[in-house]
Amino acid sequence: MTELATLDLRRLYLFLDFDGTLVDLAPTPDAIHVPDDLPTLLAGLHDRTQGRLAIVSGREVAQIAHFLPTFPGAIYGAHGAESRVDGIDRPHPLAGSATVAAVQAAAADLVATEPALLLERKKTGAVVHYRAAPTKGPAVRAALSDMIAGHPDLVLHASKMAWEIRPADASKAGAVQALMDGQPDDVRPVVIGDDTTDEEAMEVAQTMNGICIRVGEGDTIAPHRLDAPSDVHALLRRWAVQP
């Protein structure tokens, strides 16, 4: 923590995951709790970094904006499939398409056969959560793989206790690359995340002399690790009060 806390915030671009990083994971996506001081903390970091602060999440932009309505930084949602930068929304071409509707309908049929499964619909895809039925993971993966077999513009991606169908050209790595383009050479990306989807963002950050921090357990390429969102908050607070 000491090594990380002494980094010069003026030369960093912060890329923060949301679930499992800024907020604790919950049994369902809607059940998370946003700490009361988090919006103020993020606003202060946005000022200290001269606007170099982004949330890059699997959630949709609208969901992040719902939980953090005053967040002033860039938001990349649905694993980079959509964004809100400088107040401008950029949806993905597949958002609301017949292709997405078809896989969502098939996923709904799958979930209907197992009450413990949970379907999360997104404009650009679908997520089937199996946290309440851990043994169903392989079967969910196989079924969703079959659903997208005829859709080369969609891919299946692993998340924590979930499998997600998303656009093939969407990634958190792409979000980091897009926001780092045009930054001064001495600005380093900092990626903080807890999931397999954050590893791709860490990979591209490392090509830019970036700093990668894994939250919680799991295999990672990150050289730094924090145990929980509370530890992330502690680090962010130390950055926020730098002289």
Examine the residue annotation and report whether 89 is marked as an active-site residue of this protein.
Answer: no
**Contacts of 17 by beta carbon, 8 Å cutoff, 6+ apart:** 55, 56, 57, 192, 193, 194, 195, 198, 215
What burial class does residue 135 get, using C-beta atoms within 10 Å of its C-beta: 0-12 exposed, 13-18 middle, 19+ buried?
exposed
Report pLDDT digits (tens) over 109-134. Answer: 999 999 899 999 999 999 999 999 99
* Burial category of 212 from C-beta neighbours within 10 Å (exposed 0-12, middle 13-18, buried 19 and up): buried
SS3 state at 242: coil
Domain boundaries, the chain: 2-89+170-240, 98-167
**pLDDT tens-place string over residues 56-115:** 999 999 999 999 999 999 999 999 999 999 999 999 999 999 999 999 999 999 999 998
Indicate if the pLDDT at residue 22 is higher than 70: yes
Helix (H, G, I), strand (E, B) or coil at 163: strand
Report the C-alpha gap between 240 and 40 in whole angstroms: 10
| Among 8, 17, 30, 47, the one annotated catalytic | 17
Domain 2-89+170-240 carries which CATH code?
Answer: 3.40.50.1000
**Helix and strand counts by DSSP (H, E) for the chain:** 8, 12
On the question of a common fold for 2-89+170-240 and 98-167, the answer reads: no
Q: What number of other Cβ atoms are within 10 A of residue 155's Cβ?
A: 17
The CATH fold of domain 98-167: Alpha-Beta Plaits (3.30.70)
Give the pLDDT confidence of 41-57 residue by residue, as tens digits: 999 999 999 999 999 99
Q: What span, in angstroms and rounded, lies between the C-alpha atoms of 104 and 126? A: 6
The DSSP output letter for 134 is: G
pTM: 0.92
Spatial neighbors of 40 by CB under 8 A, at least 6 apart, are none
- Give start and end residues of each alpha helix (H) in the chain: 2-5, 38-48, 61-67, 98-112, 137-147, 172-180, 196-206, 229-240
- For range 135-149, the mean pLDDT: 96
Q: How far apart are the first and last CA of the chain?
A: 17
Tell me, what's the pLDDT at 27?
Answer: 85
Given phi > 0 = left and psi -120 to 50 = alpha, else beta, which region is 209? left
What is the torsional sign of CA 7, 65, 127, 229?
Answer: positive
